[in-house]
Structure 1
Amino acid sequence: MADGVLLLENDERLAVEVSPLGGAILSARWRGTPVLAPTPTPGLASQVFGAEACFPLVPFGNRIEANLFQFEDREYRLEANTTDPLVLHGDGWLERWSVLRRDRQSVTFRFRQEASVATPFAYEAAETIVIDGPRLILSLSITNRADQALPYGLGFHPYFPRTPETRLVARAGRYWSEREGHLPDRPGPIPQTMNFASGSPLPPGWLNNALDGWDGRARIEWPEARLAVSLEADAHFQFFVLYSPSAASSFFCFEPMSHRPNAHGDQHDGGLVRLQPLQTVTGTIALSIEELASG
């Protein structure tokens, strides 16, 4: 096992490699078959290990337009944190977390961010990763440590294998088109190619869209591997982003989020939580692995 890699495993043969670098999951396998897809990203774990399979989104996910936002009569500015011109996915995925607790089947990481010229956010985050039989449970909390109230969000950015027969089941209420800068454009009805309420394959082209009104449930099926994952999120997660470069890609992302991307620019119904100093918000998702019957 490489330095900085922690292995969680159980008698059900669920094995998950994690790292305090970015609080990342590096891989997850069920009886040897991948249920997450290690993928090169701009994250810290990828810089060291070459790829990662999931990372936490804290204190927000996706991008903030123009790297600034208004909140309660004040303007806040941020600096870009990757080669992308817009600040991306917050801080946690680019920093080392400390290990608070660890045993054979769980680990809890902690990360503390101070306000700076690059970000107004000052907070403490904790991430707990647990395996329980065929389940992978991820919890993330944020405590505002700034001197003033600020809008916070959280989420997870998992990479799932994309195979020719992959099917997705997910119910949402509204679809957002994409505009320049990979930002949400306009809300509208869900296109038929993006309607996964009854289960359907992923569309073949570029995907990078937010959906809201999510009921917190999703299911991914890989008939070739006779495997499925059911995802269940708590009430904090009413949004998700679906991302994949193309049908030829080896992965796609189904990203549960507590807020819409770029919600800092429209805070009326975007899902961000106003945290007073020392207030905390917590969200949890669970992935349950199931073996499919042979056809």
Structure 2
Amino acid sequence: MTDDTVLLENEEGLTVEVSPLGGAILTARWRGAPVLVPTPTPGLASQVLGAEACFPLVPFGNRIEGNGFRYEGRDYTLAPNTADPLVLHGEGWLRRWSILRQDRHSVALHDRQAASAATPFAYETVQTITIDGASLTLSLTVANHSADALPYGLGLHPYFPRTPDTRLFAHASRHWTEREGHLPGAAQPVPRDRDFTSGAPLPPGWLNNAFDGWDGKMRVEWPETGLALSLDADESFGVFVLYSPSTEAEFFCFEPMSHRPNAHRRPEGGGLVRLAQGETLEGTVTLRIHALGP
């Protein structure tokens, strides 16, 4: 452990390393087996520590086309925040959070962001990470501190192990194609090879697609380790993004989000929440580890 890591552990065998750098989870293991995998990202924890396994998306997730949007008659501009030409995942994952409180089983992290030439968003956010038995709970809250009402969103970006026999279970009503700039393209019915309602392996090749009409539940099974993980998101989350660069990648991302990617540019039904000054948006996701049955 260093000053930039916090270890959560319990007698049942769940261990989670957390960093104030980007509010990131660095590792999560159940009795020694990884259930989240450290992966190099453009996030702050990766820049300092080399990899991260989950980070918060605040005050929005994914990209905004053209690095700007119009809202309630005003135009807002953002600056790119990584090597990507489009602003990506908000500011939270690129900032050092402070520790509000911690004990052996939980930590609460806090960040306060001022508006600037790079972003119109001024806000305060708290992320609470708690372990209990075989469960890991992530709660995220954001409060608007801007004088303007602005559209806010939340999300989480976990990296799960991808093994040859991985099976994913998740139900959604609609799938979005991907277009240039890694932006969502057209809405369509969920393709057969991406319908995980009854469980299916991840399709081969590049994956980077949004799904909406999600019921907030997911399950992933790893027959190689005899483990499964279920994810339960509260009603704030109705969208997920599924990302994996290739069949050979050792990870895939299942990203619960409160809104569609690029919803700032296509706000109708996109899931962003209007927050006036002082108003708050919050969401909670719980991961539970299970043994696979015979």
**TM interval, short-chain normalised:** over 0.9
| TM-score w.r.t. length of structure 1 | 0.99
**Residues 232-276 of structure 1: per-residue CA shift (max 9 Å, x gap):** 000010000000001100000000000000000011100000001
Which residue of structure 2 aligns with residue 239 of structure 1?
239
- After TM superposition, which residue ranges in structure 1, 4 or more long, deviate above 4 angstroms? none
C-alpha displacement at 1:123, in angstroms?
0.1
User: Is 2:289 aligned against 1:281?
Assistant: no
C-alpha displacement at 1:291, in angstroms?
1.2
SS in 2 for 1:246: coil
1:3 & 1:188 partners in 2: Cα distance?
Answer: 47
Which residue of structure 2 aligns with residue 41 of structure 1?
41
**Residues 4-33 of structure 1: per-residue CA shift (max 9 Å, x gap):** 110000011100000000000000000000
2:3 & 2:121 partners in 1: Cα distance?
Answer: 30
SS in 2 for 1:264: coil
1:268 & 1:184 partners in 2: Cα distance?
Answer: 14
1:284 & 1:241 partners in 2: Cα distance?
Answer: 17
**Residues 74-132 of structure 1: per-residue CA shift (max 9 Å, x gap):** 00000000000000000000000000010000000000000000000000000000001
Which residue of structure 2 aligns with residue 26 of structure 1?
26
Which residue of structure 1 aligns with residue 100 of structure 2?
100
SS in 1 for 2:277: coil
1:161 maps to a residue whose letter is: P
2:188 & 2:204 partners in 1: Cα distance?
Answer: 21
C-alpha displacement at 1:3, in angstroms?
2.8
2:230 & 2:222 partners in 1: Cα distance?
Answer: 12
1:91 & 1:283 partners in 2: Cα distance?
Answer: 18
User: Any unmatched runs of 5+ in structure 2?
Assistant: none
1:245 & 1:148 partners in 2: Cα distance?
Answer: 38
SS in 2 for 1:193: helix
Q: In the TM superposition, what are the counterparts of 1:149-164 in structure 2 within 5 Å?
A: 149-164=149-164
SS in 1 for 2:255: strand
Which residue of structure 1 aligns with residue 173 of structure 2?
173
SS in 2 for 1:263: coil
Which residue of structure 1 aligns with residue 230 of structure 2?
230
1:116 & 1:276 partners in 2: Cα distance?
Answer: 18
| TM-score w.r.t. length of structure 2 | 0.99
Q: In the TM superposition, what are the counterparts of 1:11-160 in structure 2 within 5 Å?
A: 11-160=11-160
Q: CA RMSD in A?
A: 0.5
C-alpha displacement at 1:49, in angstroms?
0.7
C-alpha displacement at 1:147, in angstroms?
0.5
2:3 & 2:243 partners in 1: Cα distance?
Answer: 31
1:233 maps to a residue whose letter is: A
C-alpha displacement at 1:186, in angstroms?
0.3
2:276 maps to a residue whose letter is: Q
SS in 1 for 2:37: coil
2:148 & 2:71 partners in 1: Cα distance?
Answer: 11
SS in 1 for 2:46: helix
C-alpha displacement at 1:292, in angstroms?
1.3
User: Is 2:252 aligned against 1:252?
Assistant: yes
1:7 maps to a residue whose letter is: L
C-alpha displacement at 1:2, in angstroms?
2.5
1:107 maps to a residue whose letter is: V
Percent of paired sites with the same residue = 67
1:200 & 1:114 partners in 2: Cα distance?
Answer: 44
1:146 & 1:2 partners in 2: Cα distance?
Answer: 35
C-alpha displacement at 1:69, in angstroms?
0.2
Q: How many residues align?
A: 294
2:152 & 2:63 partners in 1: Cα distance?
Answer: 13
2:130 & 2:2 partners in 1: Cα distance?
Answer: 21
**Residues 22-76 of structure 1: per-residue CA shift (max 9 Å, x gap):** 0000000000000001000000000111000000000000000000001000000
1:91 maps to a residue whose letter is: E
SS in 1 for 2:264: helix
Which residue of structure 1 aligns with residue 5 of structure 2?
5
2:29 maps to a residue whose letter is: R
